Amino acid sequence: MIKSFRQYQTIFSIVLHSYNNDKITSMKLSQVNYTKLLAILISVILITGGATSCKSKKKLAREKAAAEYATKVEQSKKDLTAIINGTSPWTFEQQSDKVNQIKSYNLDDPEVIEMIKKAEEKIAMGIAESERLKEEERLKLLEEQKRKKDASKYTEIDKQLKSISASSTIDAANKKIMLSMDQFASPDVPVLIIISQSGGFNDYDRPTTISKFLHYLKDKQQYKYQVESLKKDTLGKITELELIKK
């Protein structure tokens, strides 16, 4: 404002000076001269006024741009913090888009630049972890499919074993045991019972024989196992039975 006022003063003094000079040199001023003076004054006011207004607009624009920049920095920090802390509701793809958007602002705030780096690392780690989990899930599914397929292979023998445990009398169970024994190479065929599986490693119960196991099913009156694998000899008789506890 002060600067603009000074400009008015300067211009006005020039105009007055010119007018005084006219007054001194000729002292014969006419009505036309006053009109001329007024026109000059109006022109000066319009020109200087316009120039000042232009200067204000630029300043306003600068202030507006600064405010916008500050808002962008603040919002970017907020978004990046959410990504780094893993509290954002966005998917990894959305997080990546967000970081790219922030990068496109070309903010020269050192904190934002550092945060972008951290956010990118965090997203990369998240994507890698997500892919690992997906792969794990896929392998688990394959394993489950394989288990189901294998299980269906042994459905018949599972049914027989369950039927022994569900017998209503000791005699009925003994008859079923005798019939089942025909499929085995001997009453001493080993029966292995898996009690837990972890990391490709099996934990077993104390091994028993098929004879003892079939009678055990009769005594316990429950079959909570599933045939996991079996081995047969050249005659097609079972020589080893592996069960898993359900």
Footprint of other proteins (CB under 8 A): 170, 190, 192, 195-196, 198, 202-207, 212, 215-216, 219-220, 231, 239-240
Q: Which is nearer to other proteins, 162 or 245 (CB)?
A: 245
Q: What size, in residues, is the chain?
A: 246
Q: How far is the CB of 144 from other proteins (least distance, A)?
A: 17
Q: How far is the CB of 231 from other proteins (least distance, A)?
A: 7
Q: Which is nearer to other proteins, 139 or 170 (CB)?
A: 170
Q: Which residues contact 75 (CB under 8 A, 6 or more apart)?
A: none
Block residue for tokens 């105009």: 15
Q: Which residues contact 245 (CB under 8 A, 6 or more apart)?
A: 193, 194, 195, 205, 224, 225
Q: Which is nearer to other proteins, 106 or 198 (CB)?
A: 198
Q: Which is nearer to other proteins, 49 or 207 (CB)?
A: 207
Q: How far apart are CA 147 and CA 230, in angstroms?
A: 14
Instruction: Name the helix (H) or strand (E) containing 232.
Output: strand 225-232
Phi and psi angles of residue 108, each rounded to the nearest 5 degrees, phi first: -100, 25
Q: How far is the CB of 173 from other proteins (least distance, A)?
A: 10
Rounded to the nearest 5 degrees, what angle is found at the Cα of 17, between the Cα atoms of 12 and 18?
Answer: 100
Q: How far is the CB of 206 from other proteins (least distance, A)?
A: 5
Q: How far is the CB of 198 from other proteins (least distance, A)?
A: 5
C-alpha closest to that of 243 among 111, 141, 154: 154
Three-class SS state of 30? coil
